[in-house]
Amino acid sequence: MLFSDVVAASAAVRETRSRKAKIAALAGLLAAADPAEIEPVVAWLSGELIQGRIGTGWRTLTALEIAPGERPVLEVGAVDSAFTELAAVTGSGSAARRRDLLAALFGAATADEQSFLLRLLTGELRQGALTAVVLEAVAAATGIESELVRRAFMLSGQLPVTAAAAFGGGADALAAFRLEVGRPVQPMLASPGSSLDEALAELGPQVSLEHKLDGARIQVHRDGDRVWVFTWTLRDITASVPELVELVRGLDCGSVVLDGETLALTDAGRPRPFQETMSRFATVGSTAELLLHPYFFDCLHLDGEDLLDRPLRERRAALAAAAGPHVVPGVLAPDPEAAAEYYDAALAAGNEGLMVKALDAPYAAGRRGRSWQKIKPAHTLDLLVIGAEWGYGRRTGFLSNLHLAARDPETGRPVMVGKTFKGLTDALLRWQTEEFPRHESHRDEHTVHLRPELVVEIALDGIQASTRYPGGVALRFARVVRYRPDKDPADADTIDAVRALGVSRPTTS
């Protein structure tokens, strides 16, 4: 298959808002691919590389200035081989060797192919909505029920691997996927809840109320003495968190898979700022200054038995048996008065709010359904930073006023919904001014415009109709809570999630 076929299909997906048309375009492409081409093609369509990081940065790529080829000659296998060769480049002279390899690849590409390569290698193609469309396209091209493809993806953690199994072995191959200790599972996510009362009314009395911690999501696996720790993006951080490895190795079980959060605590036992917790994920082997404490809220496997399809009530029993004192604080089936008191207690302890979970729900990957709801005292959204204006007064010389965007669920592109400079500490201002140029796409006299790569959590009082922004809504009293280095751009909230907060009143400001 020619690489240009992949580029053309990607362009067709970008140019239509019809989900059915997107799926049909990608399904047709996948049906025409050779078996060996399925994995790289599926990875590229999802905005990923099967090789992972290959050491090519934005500045290196934009500095190439290679004249494009006149006609498409690149084949999928050749492009994939080039990525593999780039990933293997290390040591002395690696920068020059990498430039030579990129120059050869881009020199053989047409203008459209060069544009696709640039966006693929800089992460601009990556988006959760596209992954979901590719998953449906795999189902359509193979004639397999999409739910079976989705479940296999949850268990494999890798859509290219799932797709190759679907095309190579059909439904039987997908049904053979099982939870494998040591291989991370796509995590189940929570939907925002409007209020505690509404969540209880929707889910009924048979719920688990749990403290919503201001920590980092982790998934731990143990098989005998071997322990793995993964982030919610399935990144292996085992080497960075030896204290968690030691704790999990000491649990009274032989094998286990636990879902939870970890955070750093003050001497008084209250949560430290989220950024302090996240700093540990990048520091291999250092525990002297900042220890992490785990709080587990789900058990997916225990001593040879998979629990994914069991109701939460049974999984919580297994959780208590396996993790004991390390289970997140919670209460089962409280009456409304007790639930309200528990909510107040969670906030008083320095936590973000509550999680409300249906006790009869199985564990399912993704943000499907509302069996898990997060309740906070103020609305919060995870948004993309797409620009920042230079400050004035005491903020002169610092990048300050943030341009914020939600994600279009169909195209993955950012949709601007507001600006804010509130909540920015001096430390954040310094960090932004140093970090933002690394993500710069262009600038003008007042603003540094950024590629949509950074996710920030924003608290707000609501939204209002607006003619200023393309999404038709604007944030009300937005303020920065924290940056989310644990989240990819694909994890940012969609414009639909923003609109779902409800418009208060029209405005032109």
Compute CA distances 265 → 214, 271, 344, whole Å: 11, 5, 20
Q: Please, are residues 6 and 44 in contact by the beta-carbon 8 Å criterion?
A: yes
Whole-angstrom Cα distance, residue 76 to residue 30? 12
260: which strand partners? Answer: 218, 296
Q: Which residue in 20, 22, 212, 422 is the catalytic one?
A: 212
Question: Which DSSP category does 270 fall into?
Answer: P
How buried is residue 73: exposed, middle or buried, by Cβ count under 10 Å (0-12/13-18/19+)? middle
Name the pairing type of β-strands 216-223 and 255-264.
antiparallel
Quick one: which of 420, 419, 422, 453 has its CA closest to 435? 453
Q: Please, which residues have CB within 8 angstroms of residue 339's CB and are 6 or more apart in sequence?
A: 196, 200, 209, 331
Q: Position of tokens 């700093």?
A: 279
Q: Does 297 show up as a binding residue in the annotation?
A: yes
The two tokens of residue 212 are 């919503």
Q: Does 468 show up as a binding residue in the annotation?
A: no
Q: Please, are residues 110 and 121 in contact by the beta-carbon 8 Å criterion?
A: no
Whole-angstrom Cα distance, residue 236 to residue 231? 7
Identity of the amino acid at 348:
A
Q: Please, are residues 389 and 210 in contact by the beta-carbon 8 Å criterion?
A: no
Quickly count: other Cβ atoms within 10 Å of residue 140's Cβ: 19
Q: Please, are residues 66 and 111 in contact by the beta-carbon 8 Å criterion?
A: no
Q: Does 261 show up as a binding residue in the annotation?
A: yes
Question: Which DSSP category does 151 fall into?
Answer: H
22 in catalytic set: no
Q: Does 136 show up as a binding residue in the annotation?
A: no
Q: Does 368 show up as a binding residue in the annotation?
A: yes
147 three-class SS = helix
Question: Which DSSP category does 152 fall into?
Answer: H
182: which strand partners? Answer: none
Q: Does 457 show up as a binding residue in the annotation?
A: no
Whole-angstrom Cα distance, residue 490 to residue 123? 10
Compute CA distances 67 → 57, 62, 107, 303, whole Å: 19, 12, 6, 58
Quick one: which of 293, 480, 488 has its CA closest to 388? 480
Q: Position of tokens 């047409």?
A: 110
Q: Please, which residues have CB within 8 angstroms of residue 216's CB and are 6 or more apart in sequence?
A: 231, 232, 261, 262, 263, 274, 277, 278, 281, 486
Q: Which residues are catalytic?
A: 212
For the annotated binding site for ATP, the residues are: 210, 217, 261, 297, 368, 374
